[in-house]
Amino acid sequence: TTHERADTFHDNDQKPVGYGRMLRKEDPRFLRGRGRYVDDVQLPGMLHLAILRSPVAHARIVSIDTSVAEASPGVRAVVTGAALAQQGLAWMPTLSNDVQAVLATDKVRFQGQEVAFVVADDRYLARDALELIDVEYDVLDPVIDARRALEPGAPLIRDDLDGKTNNHCFDWETGDEAATEEVFARADVVVSQDLVYPRVHPAPMETCGAVADYDAVDGKLRLWSTTQAPHAHRTLYAIVAGLPEHKIQVISPDIGGGFGNKVPIYPGYVCAIVASIVTGKPVKWMEDRSENLISTGFARDYIMRGEIAATRDGRILGIRTNVLADHGAFNGTAAPVRYPAGFFGVFTGSYDIEAAYCKMTAVYTNKAPGGVAYACSFRITEAVYLVERIVDCLADELGMDPAELRLKNFIRPEQFPYTTKTGWVYDSGNYEPTMRLAMEMAGYDELRREQEEKRARGELMGIGIAFFTEAVGAGPRKNMDILGLGMADGCELRVHPTGKAVVRLSVQSQGQGHETTFAQIVAEEIGIPPADIEVLHGDTDNTPFGLGTYGSRSTPVSGAAAALVARKVRDKARIIASGMLEVSVADLEWEKGAFHVKGDPGTSVTIQDIALRAHGAGDLPEGIEGGLEAQICYNPSNLTYPHGAYICVVDIDPGTAQVSVRRFIAVDDCGTRINPMIIEGQVHGGLTDGVGMALMEMIAFDEDGNCLGASLMDYLIPTSLEVPDWETGFTVTPSPHHPIGAKGVGESATVGSPPAIVNAVVDALKPFGVRHADMPLTPSRVWDAMRGQARPP
Ligand code: PCD
């Protein structure tokens, strides 16, 4: 159950786009079990692939004996890294210009790494045969603690890289070090805090998998795969495997959640392709839950030191941070290549400050690769956690109310577009009304009174605030690309003779409801009802090129493309209408769905009339081709910067240290809203994610590098029982550069909620003198904190 309070609060008089809160077009099929996922694909003669994974974190491979497995019933092929190496396919590029083993040849570098695969007649025979492969490992010391990765004498993980002598991955810095030092030197108050954003996993409901079908006769490869970026994957397969791009078709059917987990190319996809080429049959690979948790893209794993400088009366002057980033065994971060730390540069948050500086060192460890943007526009989650936590530490130091401290330091509306001290240009924002609305919905003053009374009785109640600004919609091609592919998005719109339409997108939905919202965007621009607009996506043979769905970029980039392609069609429709009504184009007026003659609303033609004319017999105006369609490739001029104010209320049981989130108020501003119902769903999901990260989730390892979060019994994710009834509200500050003023929203709640929850828990623990405790705030962590024994994970 949810409280839908949004519509009772002000929305700057802005109506949602098109048909607003319409039900999702995709729901009839999802609710009736008619979704079609990769694992539903069944092809005649299809074989099944299973992957043998390393049981240890770091070891030299001495030998692999596959002979018994090969003789096992139903087995069609057993392939090792050595066999792939002969084809030059043992290694593949990662999205961050590193390389990753498809199948290990020399060493294994994390527990769960791919070592060999079996192709067999069914899934069970393939799994059984894995047991018959005999691998001899020469076990090496692993590097598990990122803090020790650069110590002299630490075992060298990446000896495959020429000349590599240590586990250093990269250094990165941003901001002005000297200016920041100067500001810190003259500040009245400086507060510093060590913070860990633990390794977590996106854990989508559907794991990763693929069906590869290579046709040796026409040379065509068809690949159904769980990818958030079908076009980008196709191009990379073409480059890596040397297959001609037009002979590769990547199809992403329905996807059961992505959350950044399905952005990278995983060895399993490549193995399925190789297996189909080798056997001449279609081959399915579907990983199980443990494989997904131990080997696919993790997120976060940042060890941070945050410092904040301010005047005694609470003016924030500067923010400085030092980050140690654990990238695992291969740098598999998925971010625009020029941003090795993603968009961490927005760590100055929503505040108008004088100087900022960040220095980051990234290291290799014997853990799974990743660093994916789990519900986060490339490391923004880490940045927002850092700034919102240290602002609370500062409030504590100053004895100031955390809401008041934030209100005092917000970037003011007249300062937008605002260039941050690390060079990001926030497009628009109006922070104070958003914050005030959240406080009003929460009954903030009343909550503080309640807390005071409870404290007097020894009860532990906490109120936590987080205010965030995100950077979503990557990105302008002048500075953003992934492995050389610019981040623009294509869109194509065709209106059929009967006035129904099909819009083809380059982005891919994993459950966000694009079939609904993109129809709404086009409907708003061209006046054809959304029910008459079919949205096609997820098939590279049938949609225009674009870089895919992540970093909440679909609405900012592809949504803009959809609006503009519809306007292009409307422009052509206007010319055709002028011919039909025998007036000049300038004498026509557009009302949604029809053109009429100025001053004569009775004389009009509908978009459906025009569509028929465009395809029909008879002359069209001079120089106008038949048909009613257009195509576009949209290159955004900037990112969009949604913001939000979150307030969390927690109660802690003093006897068990169990935290329960009693209330959560989320006010989001994502500019013009397309479908408020979908937005609320996105926010509810993201807030639930936040409860998971703040209180439950962590991918941990023992000192040998065994993953301790390899099942959902150990890696806890929240259910409806752990979360409250969400209270959502909104303000609307349109993006000035987006054609309909929309900003992204899909990840906002995941980004903004963890600091709100942690701030609330720390606030509840104030009577114990606690200033910080690291996530996940499990009962044992909270218990330790209450006893003054908080320690980093
Ligand atoms: N919207 C509206 N309005 C506005 C905005 C938005 O309405 N203003 C809506 C749209 O349209 C869509 C949604 O909402 O439908 C979302 O959007 P966006 O923000 O644009 O986003 P996108 O791109 O679409 O998506 C993506 C995201 C992400 S990124 C993530 S993580 C997550 C989210 O999304 N994931 C997911 N959400 C979701 N949901 C679901 N269901 N599932 C999933 O998986 Mo990453 O980077 O990947 O990590």
- CB of 333 sitting under 6 A from ligand 1: no
From the list 181, 196, 551, the residue with the least C-alpha distance to 382 is 196
Interval between CA 526 and ligand 1 midpoint (Å): 24
312 lies in some domain: no
Write down which residue in 634, 662, 677 finishes a domain.
634
Residue 66 has pLDDT above 90, yes or no: yes
On whether both 685 and 615 belong to a single domain, the answer is no
268 with 208: CB under 8 angstroms?
A: yes
pLDDT above 80 for 3:
no
Task: Give residue 402 CA to ligand 1 midpoint distance, Å.
Answer: 30
Indicate whether residue 373 lines ligand 1 (CB < 6 A). Answer: yes
Report which ligand 1 atom has the smallest distance to the Cα of 556.
Answer: 20
Q: Is the CB of 664 under 6 A from ligand 1?
A: no
Model confidence at 447, pLDDT cuts 50, 70, 90, reads very high
pLDDT score for 4: 37
The total number of structural domains that make up the chain: 3
Q: Which atom of ligand 1 is nearest to the CA of 202?
A: 48
> Of the ranges 382-396, 435-449, 553-567, 616-630, which one carries the lowest mean pLDDT score?
616-630
Residue with tokens 């650069």: 150
Q: Is the CB of 200 under 6 A from ligand 1?
A: no
Helical residues (DSSP H) of 697-747, grouped into ranges: none
Whether 644 has a pLDDT exceeding 60, the answer reads: yes
- Are residues 432 and 517 both part of a single domain? no
Name which of 289, 293, 302, 310 is nearest 333 in CA terms: 302
Mean pLDDT of the chain: 95
Return the residue matching tokens 């009374």: 453
Q: How far is the CA of 710 from the centre of ligand 1 (A)?
A: 27
Residue 418 lies in a domain: yes
Instruction: Render pLDDT for 165-182 as a digit per residue (tens, 0 to 9).
Output: 999 999 999 999 999 999
Residue 168: inside a domain, yes or no? no
Give the residue whose CA is nearest to atom 21 of ligand 1. 552
- Report whether pLDDT(134) > 90: yes
Domain check: are 626 and 647 in the same one? no
pLDDT at 18: 62
Residue 745 Cα to ligand 1 middle (Å):
6
Q: Is the CB of 765 under 6 A from ligand 1?
A: no
CA-nearest residue for atom 40, ligand 1, is 511
CA of 91 to the centre of ligand 1 (A): 32
Q: Is the CB of 570 under 6 A from ligand 1?
A: no
pLDDT digits (tens, 9 = 90+) for 507-533: 999 999 999 999 999 999 999 999 999
CB of 550 closer than 6 A to ligand 1? yes
Structure confidence by residue, pLDDT tens digits, 337-349: 999 999 999 999 9
Q: What share of the chain is helix, strand, coil (3-state, %, to 5)?
A: 30, 25, 40
Q: Rounded to the nearest 5 degrees, what angle is found at the Cα of 195, between the Cα atoms of 721 and 703?
A: 85
Kindly state if the Cβ of 259 falls inside 6 Å of ligand 1. Answer: yes
**Residue 428 maps to a domain:** yes
Question: Which of 377, 552, 733 should be mutated for ligand 1, with most atoms under 8 A from CB?
Answer: 552
Query: Does residue 695's CB lie within 6 angstroms of at least one atom of ligand 1?
Result: no
228 C-beta closer than 6 A to ligand 1: yes
Tokens 């060192």, located at residue:
361
**Per-residue pLDDT, 586:** 97
Phi, psi of 69 (to 5 degrees): -60, -40
Q: How many angstroms separate the alpha carbon of residue 688 from the centre of ligand 1?
A: 15
- pTM > 0.90: yes
pLDDT score, position 241:
82
What is the residue with the minimal CA distance to atom 36 of ligand 1?
259
Atom 34 of ligand 1, residue of closest alpha carbon: 746
CB 170 within 8 A of CB 326: no
> For residue 410, with 0-12 CB atoms within 10 Å meaning exposed, 13-18 middle and 19 or more buried, which class applies?
buried
For position 240, what pLDDT does the model report? Answer: 82
**The pLDDT value given to residue 17:** 65
**Same domain? 709 vs 768:** yes
Residue with tokens 């979360």: 723
Which residue minimizes the CA distance to atom 38 of ligand 1?
A: 512
Q: How confident is the model at residue 421 (pLDDT cuts 50, 70, 90)?
A: very high
Q: Which domain holds residue 562?
A: 488-634
Q: Calculate what percentage of the chain has a pLDDT beyond 70.
A: 97
Q: Residue 5 — pLDDT band, cuts 50, 70, 90?
A: very low
Atom in ligand 1 nearest the alpha carbon of residue 373: 48
Question: If pLDDT is split at 50, 70 and 90, which confidence band does 792 have?
Answer: low
Q: Does 605 share its domain with 710?
A: no
Ligand 1 pocket, 343 CB below 6 A?
A: no
Decide whether any atom of ligand 1 lies within 6 Å of the 35 Cβ.
Answer: no
Query: Is 670's C-beta closer than 6 angstroms to any atom of ligand 1?
Result: yes
Q: Tell me phi and psi for residue 359, to 5 degrees.
A: -125, 130
Provide the CATH number for the domain around residue 651: 3.30.365.10
In the chain, the percentage of residues whose pLDDT exceeds 90 is 94
Please check whether residue 109 lies inside any domain of the structure. yes
Termini Cα distance of the chain: 34
Q: 331 C-alpha vs ligand 1 centroid, how far in Å? A: 25
Q: 519 near 493, Cβ under 8 Å?
A: no
Give yes or no: residues 101 and 223 share one domain: yes
The verdict on residue 306 lying in a domain is no
Is 94 touching ligand 1 by the criterion CB < 6 Å?
no
Task: Give 399 Cα–ligand 1 centroid separation in angstroms.
Answer: 38
User: How confident is the model over 418-440, as a mean pLDDT?
Assistant: 98
Tell me, using a 6 A CB cutoff, whether residue 256 lines ligand 1: no
Q: What is the pLDDT of residue 551?
A: 97
Is the beta carbon of 747 within 6 A of some atom in ligand 1?
A: yes
Please say which residue of 634, 659, 677 terminates a domain: 634
In the reported structure, the alpha carbon of residue 777 is separated from the centroid of ligand 1 by a whole-number distance in angstroms of: 27
- Write the CATH number for 55: 3.90.1170.50
Q: Same domain for 553 and 671?
A: no
Atom of ligand 1 nearest to the CA of 675: 7
Ligand 1 neighbourhood includes 66 CB (under 6 angstroms): no
The protein residue whose alpha carbon is closest to atom 33 in ligand 1 is 746
685 lines ligand 1 (CB under 6 A): yes
The pLDDT of residue 265 is above 50: yes
Mutual orientation of helices 607-615 and 560-581 as an angle, nearest 10°? 80
Which of 607, 634, 661 is a domain's end point? Answer: 634
Domain annotation covers residue 420: yes
Q: Which of 679, 682, 750 to mutate to test the pocket of ligand 1 (most atoms within 8 A of CB)?
A: 682
Q: Which atom of ligand 1 is nearest to the CA of 671?
A: 8
pLDDT level of residue 244 (50, 70, 90 thresholds) = very high
Q: Which atom of ligand 1 is least distant from the CA of 374?
A: 48
The predicted pLDDT at position 13 comes to 39
Cβ-based neighbour number of residue 494 at 10 Å = 18
Ligand 1 centroid–CA 12 distance in Å is 23
Residues 512 and 539 in one domain: yes
Q: What single-letter DSSP state applies at residue 154?
A: P
Q: Please check whether residue 544 is in contact with residue 763, taking contact to mean a CB–CB distance below 8 angstroms.
A: no
Mean pLDDT of 478-491: 94
Nearest CA to ligand 1 atom 12: 512
Residues 663 and 648 in one domain: yes
Atom 17 of ligand 1, nearest CA residue: 746
Q: Which of 555, 558, 643 to mutate to test the pocket of ligand 1 (most atoms within 8 A of CB)?
A: 555
Kindly report, residue by residue over 180-191, the tens digit of the pLDDT: 999 999 999 999
Residue 15 has pLDDT above 80, yes or no: no
Q: Is the CB of 555 under 6 A from ligand 1?
A: yes
Residues 385 and 496 in one domain: no
Atom of ligand 1 nearest to the CA of 259: 31
Ligand 1 pocket, residue 675 CB under 6 Å:
yes
**Phi, psi (rounded to 5 degrees) for 39:** -70, -10
The region, left, alpha or beta by phi > 0 then psi within -120 to 50, assigned to residue 156 is beta
Give yes or no for residue 572 CB within 6 A of ligand 1: no
Does residue 330 line the site of ligand 1, with CB under 6 A? no
Torsion, Cα of 181, 187, 191, 197 (10° steps): -50
Q: How far is the CA of 769 from the centre of ligand 1 (A)?
A: 40
* CB of residue 679 inside a 6 A radius of ligand 1: yes
Over 50: is that where the pLDDT of 7 sits?
Answer: no
Instruction: Answer yes or no: is 365 within a domain.
Output: no
Q: Are residues 441 and 505 in the same domain?
A: no
pLDDT digits (tens, 9 = 90+) for 666-722: 999 999 999 999 999 999 999 999 999 999 999 999 999 999 999 999 999 999 999
Does one domain contain both 667 and 571? no
What mean pLDDT is predicted for residues 302-326?
98
Q: Is 374 in the pocket of ligand 1 (CB under 6 A)?
A: yes
- The C-alpha angle with vertex 292 and arms to 291 and 296, in degrees rounded to 5, equals 110
Whole-complex ipTM: 0.99
Distance 734 CA to ligand 1 centre (A): 18
Q: Is 552 in the pocket of ligand 1 (CB under 6 A)?
A: yes
CB of 681 sitting under 6 A from ligand 1: no
Residue 387's nearest CA partner among 375, 379, 378 is 379
Asked if pLDDT for residue 388 goes beyond 50, the answer is: yes
Average pLDDT over residues 221-226: 98
Residue 727's pLDDT band (cuts 50, 70, 90): very high
